[in-house]
Structure 1
Amino acid sequence: MEEKEYFSIAQAAKILKISRIAVYKKVKKGQLPAIRIGKIYAVPKEDIIRKVRGIKGRSLKPEEKAKIKMAVNKTLREYGDVLKRLGEE
């Protein structure tokens, strides 16, 4: 029998670049497989790798692109002068 490698919730959060709470929510919703060992959860390494590949490999939806564009435009409107001065330093 082969041994699986596991990550803790904290390790999974760091790898996925999300909060520990977000990882717990994904586990509870069944979006991220995990096993429970006593009081803690362990996430299989291969599931984290699959999740990272899925995140990096997918394209943004048009509504996601629009949301990002709106946020960038708002930031430039509100902080454009400050950003310009910081860029000159």
Structure 2
Amino acid sequence: MYSTQEVANILHLSRVEIFRRIKSGKIKAEKIGRNYVIPYESIEEVLGTTIGTHKRKEIEKVIDKALKEYGEAFKKLSRE
């Protein structure tokens, strides 16, 4: 878990901007007492080093839809 100051340093942003992103939902955080803590995974998602569960599910839906609609075309293209 990171503190808001640590995340601000990692992302080269102000603490105020980190709080704004937490409130808007762009950065996932937990409030413990008066302070927020940010899970490592949340920062990895922000940095683009991992794909979050929600994004992964969205990608899988798009792939499934494409396979259903264009499956035959993909098969024909793979034979060429």
Please give the range of the TM-score, normalised by the shorter of the 2 chains.
Answer: 0.5 to 0.7
Q: Deviations over 1:9-61 (max 9, x none)?
A: 0000000111110000000111110000000000011110121127xxxxxxx
CA distance, structure 1, for counterparts of residue 19 and residue 11 of structure 2: 12
Q: Residue 32 of structure 2: which of 13, 28, 37 is its match?
A: 37
Q: Cα RMSD between the aligned structures?
A: 1.1
Unmatched segments (≥5 aa) in structure 1: 1-5, 55-89
Counting aligned pairs with the same residue, the percent is 31
Tell me which stretches of 4 or more aligned residues in structure 1 moved more than 6 Å. Answer: none
**Alignment of 1:16 onto 2:11:** yes
Size of the alignment, in residue pairs? 49
CA distance, structure 1, for counterparts of residue 24 and residue 48 of structure 2: 20
TM-score by length of 2: 0.58
Unmatched segments (≥5 aa) in structure 2: 50-80
